[in-house]
Structure 1
């Protein structure tokens, strides 16, 4: 645990509401997307991470869901702008990767916004090429990482 923030797995309705609100504010509202667009069909079976500051305000989030027996996908990584470049994103990613290993996953896939691909490359992810274009303007890169015990795909 860091002295100014901590990562939890949301348990209460209030924590989940705060997590979804943060996702929407950072990842959807700037592109005029409706509320609800910050959720998908994997929520119920996913591992959610919520980072709270020292006053329990949400400042970051990410999610892991299983694609198959060996592969997980990380989505919805979001950090409040004033908390970026302070180690929070790295800690959230490591937390989700540990959960993946703990549940038997050996590979992680994700679609990184192109502007953040360097963040993932610096943390051991491999760039697998051009990904989708979100809302007609946000380029993505397909990325993957082999976790402990995994073989390259």
Structure 2
């Protein structure tokens, strides 16, 4: 029964997401439902994938479910928690200090967590290059306003 917890949560999230998407206000300019197209694509994709996930778990219900054993590795569990905290922190600082600085801090912290200090030069180069190329692509080439 434990194997159905995650796919059921994803299914619930996709249904809530779709309900909220259908409640989006219509656009006053152009096609009134154009603002819904991309969120609907994401919502229905998530719904379909969660149903496939549930079906695959039903098919594999006879197999031994030992996915939770990964949490017996203390070091890995701590890294997962740190990544979740970094993601949460990134969402909070993104609007306050802007895309470029927050992305450099977030990506740098992730790379140092994953690669360690020995590869410090590669971590810094990748962090700065990725952040600046992303910023340039969105802000300058695509004219997308970033915080």
TM-score, normalising length: structure 1:
0.25
**Largest Rg, 1 or 2:** 2
More strand by share: 1
TM-score (norm 2): 0.25
